[in-house]
Amino acid sequence: MKPTPLRLLAWLTLCLIVHVQALSQPAVTAIHVIPDAGAPVINKHLYGHFAEHLGHCIYGGFYVGEGSVIPNTEGVRNDIIAALRELNIPNLRWPGGCFADTYHWKDGIGPKADRPTLVNTWWGGVTEDNSFGTHDFLNLCEQLGAEPYISGNVGSGEVQELADWVQYTNFEGTSPMSDLRRANGREAPWAVKFWGIGNEAWGCGGNMRPEYYADIYRKYVTFMSNSGVEGGLYKIASGASDADYNWTEVLMKNIPHRMLQGVALHHYSIIDWNAKSSATGFSEADYFKTMKQSWLMDELIDKHLAIMDKYDPQGKVDLVVDEWGGWYDVEPGTNPGFLFQQNTMRDAMIAGLILNIFNNHAKRVKMANLAQTVNVLQAVILTDQERLLLTPTYHVMHMYRGHQDAQLLPVALTSPDYELDGQRLPALSVSASRDASGKVRISLVNIDARKTHPVEIDLGNLGLKVLQGRILSSARLQDHNTFEQPEKLKPATFNAFTFRQGVFRAELPPFSVVVVESD
Ligand code: AHR
């Protein structure tokens, strides 16, 4: 056919259309799985939780008392136990938080009617009756199949008090504290392994300097007996807030490493302490800032680990992120000291992204605790009297639970950007693992509020036959479950992918979490 000027023009127009279309389609992101036989196991304790005497986390959340009309076992709600068992929660941190350094455990044992009251000075100034104490917590952990992680009081407590607590929970033979435990109805010790030596010692735990805290730490752990626990106690030093690298440096330098199993780090995805944003009525700009704070976890972990590695090149001391999560304004009309907030797709994005960050740092980060389990901050469960709902964060943790104790499959990708008002963040986050049965799991998060991002993963060398997927997504970032509509958001089957000749191809919708796993 002879090229006339008209045909040439039509051809050029067609080329231009194709070109413009190609430019407006996000490029496919290639994700590479890097075979590494020496890759670490993702410690199940990265999926830990945190329950403080704060607002309605314990009282009115977990614990309703034996006389309640809400079905319970020894006062703990059966529906909460059932929901958390589904998550396979590996450990539960208690009793705080800031509360821990005001808590005197001996007030929470023995006949409930005889227990003294306590004013919760950090959280709402409410009076509590100490009806939920050591036995209640440790029995709850047994019901959950979770390991207890107790935060000791070094702020307002005494060395002897913490030493006694360890003897009370762990000593089998005859001793003042184990005899007291038996007198209170518990024969066998609980063998509590995880102990926090205070909490936020730089702030609510005593406003200490790191040098002083390092000495306090050495003194307190000296009197904590290792007996009754296989391998000894796992002691966790109260760690830095966010980018306080000096705190980590001083602790690593001044505490003998034989006395130290973990150093903590706290980082919340909080926009601004003075303007936190509504939990549900937030803008995309607020969302972007929350995502920026969530991605910051990656940098904080790298930088704290670099300091730890300087003093501990063999990596014997672990990093423990024992408080993380989103923190917003409380729900209108609720007690500001109770930190009760709703949970939207923004929280699902925080959870998916941060759990991927933890998985990918599994070599040195061995434990983490979401703040907090029920009715406080980024909760997985909200309750209203007898009603209960599972939040988007719950669903992400459920989708990710198979990563627990699986071997990490390291991945590499160059993420496209999520761009807003000239600012950029990586849009995609990925982690992968293979469990003991050989099942491979890949968790993919697209935090981009507007764009679908196509991805491609060559899984050819893993010998997989069939993949199945689940997705958590919704129409609006602000979407959330309510007591009237508790299942508005829940994971659905994800079919929008192909898996041919070992290559997985999918389109990840805006603000979605996808987990694919092999048969
Ligand atoms: O999780 C709420 C509070 O945040 C904790 O009590 C404290 O450790 C942190 O500042």
pLDDT at residue 152, as a whole number = 98
- Of 343, 371, 405, the position where a domain reaches its end is 405
3-state secondary structure 331-379: CCCCCHHHCCCCCEHHHHHHHHHHHHHHHHCCCCEEEEEEECCECCCCC
* Contact call for residues 400 and 419 (beta carbons, < 8 A): no
Q: In the prediction, which pLDDT does 103 show?
A: 98
| Residue 239 CB less than 6 A away from ligand 1 | no
Same domain, 99 and 32: no
Helix, strand, coil distribution of the chain in percent, nearest 5: 30, 25, 40
Could you identify the atom of ligand 1 that is nearest to the CA of residue 96?
6
Instruction: Measure the CA–CA gap between 192 and 179, rounded to whole angstroms.
Output: 17
Answer whether residue 10 shows pLDDT above 60. no
- Ligand 1 centre and the CA of 199: distance in Å? 9
Residue 170: CB partners within 8 Å, gap ≥ 6? Answer: 189, 190, 191, 192, 225, 227, 228, 229
What pLDDT band is residue 6 in, cutting at 50, 70 and 90?
low
The pLDDT assigned to 22 comes to: 44
Q: Is 328 part of any domain?
A: yes
Task: Name the band, by pLDDT with cuts 50, 70 and 90, for residue 461.
Answer: confident
* Most ligand 1 atoms within 8 A of CB, residue of 204, 238, 330, 378 to mutate: 204
Predicted confidence at residue 9, as pLDDT, reads 53
Judging by DSSP bridges, how do beta strands 318-326 and 262-269 pair with one another?
A: parallel
Question: Which atom of ligand 1 has the smallest separation from the CA of 203?
Answer: 10
How many angstroms separate the alpha carbon of residue 56 from the centre of ligand 1? 14
- The dihedral built from the CA positions of residue 329, 331, 332 and 334, taken in this order, carries a sign that is negative
Same domain, 400 and 447: no
> CATH number, domain at 328?
3.20.20.80
| Ligand 1 binding pocket includes 323 (Cβ within 6 Å) | yes
Q: How confident is the model at residue 81 (pLDDT cuts 50, 70, 90)?
A: very high
26: confidence class by pLDDT, cuts 50, 70, 90:
confident
Structural domain contains residue 4: no
Average pLDDT of the chain to the nearest whole number: 95
Phi, psi angles (nearest 5°) of residue 335: -60, 120
Q: Per-residue pLDDT for 259 more than 90? A: yes
- Report, as an integer, the average pLDDT of 347-357: 98
In a domain, 17, yes or no: no
Residues 361, 425, single domain; the answer is no
Q: Atom 3 in ligand 1: which residue has the minimum CA distance?
A: 97
* Protein residue whose Cα sits closest to atom 2 of ligand 1: 97
Q: What is the pLDDT of residue 19?
A: 46
Whole-number pLDDT of residue 23: 47
Please tell me the residue having the least CA distance from ligand 1 atom 5.
Answer: 97
- Tell how strand 234-241 and strand 262-269 pair up: parallel
Does 148 share its domain with 231? Answer: yes
- Percent of the chain predicted with pLDDT > 70: 95
Ligand 1, atom nearest to 241 Cα: 10
The residues that are catalytic are 200, 323
What average pLDDT does this structure show over 371-382?
Answer: 98
| CB of 55 sitting under 6 A from ligand 1 | no
Q: Whose alpha carbon is nearest atom 8 of ligand 1?
A: 97
Per-residue pLDDT for 313 more than 60? Answer: yes
- Domain check: are 242 and 190 in the same one? yes
Q: For residue 263, report the distance from its CA to the centre of ligand 1, in Å.
A: 16
Q: Is residue 7 part of a domain?
A: no
Question: 125 and 243: one domain?
Answer: yes
Write out the residue range of the structural domain in which residue 123 sits: 44-405
Q: What is the pLDDT of residues 226-256, one digit of tens each?
A: 999 999 999 999 999 999 999 999 999 999 9
Residue 408: CB atoms within 10 A of its CB come to: 20
Count structural domains, the chain: 2
Positive or negative, the CA dihedral 38, 42, 43, 46 is positive
For residue 25, what pLDDT band results from cuts at 50, 70 and 90?
low
Q: Are residues 401 and 419 in the same domain?
A: no
Q: Is 376 in the same domain as 416?
A: no
CA of 122 to the centre of ligand 1 (A): 9
- Give the model's confidence band at 360: pLDDT under 50 very low, under 70 low, under 90 confident, else very high: very high
Residue entry with tokens 């972007």: 288
CA 130/CA 161 separation, integer angstroms: 17
CA of 266 to the centre of ligand 1 (A): 9
pLDDT of 21 above 60: no
* Per-residue pLDDT band at 125 (split at 50, 70, 90): very high
Whose Cα sits closest to atom 4 in ligand 1?
Answer: 97
pLDDT at 279 over 90: yes
Residues 104 and 209 in one domain: yes
Residues 393 and 507 in one domain: no
Q: Does residue 6 belong to any structural domain of this protein?
A: no
Choice from 94, 200, 270, 374 to test ligand 1 binding pocket (greatest atom count within 8 A of CB): 200
- Is residue 482 assigned to a domain? yes
Q: Does residue 17 surpass a pLDDT of 50?
A: no
Measured distance CA(447)–CA(430) in Å, rounded:
11
The model's confidence at residue 18, banded by pLDDT at 50, 70 and 90, is: very low
CA-closest residue to ligand 1 atom 6:
97
- Cα of 499 vs centre of ligand 1, distance in Å, is 44
Q: What is the pLDDT of residues 196-231, one digit of tens each?
A: 999 999 999 999 999 999 999 999 999 999 999 999
User: How far, in Å, is the centroid of ligand 1 from the Cα of 380?
Assistant: 17
Residues 259 and 162 in one domain: yes
Whether the CB-CB separation of 185 and 135 falls below 8 Å is answered with yes
Taking residues 122-147, report their average pLDDT. Answer: 98
pLDDT at position 367 is 98
Query: Does residue 2 fall inside a structural domain?
Result: no
Residues 30 and 123 in one domain: no
Q: Which of 388, 405, 422 is the last residue of a domain?
A: 405
Is residue 448 within 6 Å of ligand 1 at its C-beta? no
Can you tell me whether residue 429 is helix, strand or coil?
A: strand
Q: Which of 372, 405, 438 is the last residue before a domain boundary? A: 405
Q: Whose CA is nearest to atom 9 of ligand 1?
A: 97
CATH number of the domain at 479, please: 2.60.40.1180
Asked if residue 9 is part of any domain, the answer here is no
Mean pLDDT of 350-355: 98
Query: Phi and psi dihedrals of 157, rounded to 5?
Result: -95, 180
Whether residue 96 has its Cβ less than 6 Å from ligand 1? yes
pLDDT at 175: 97
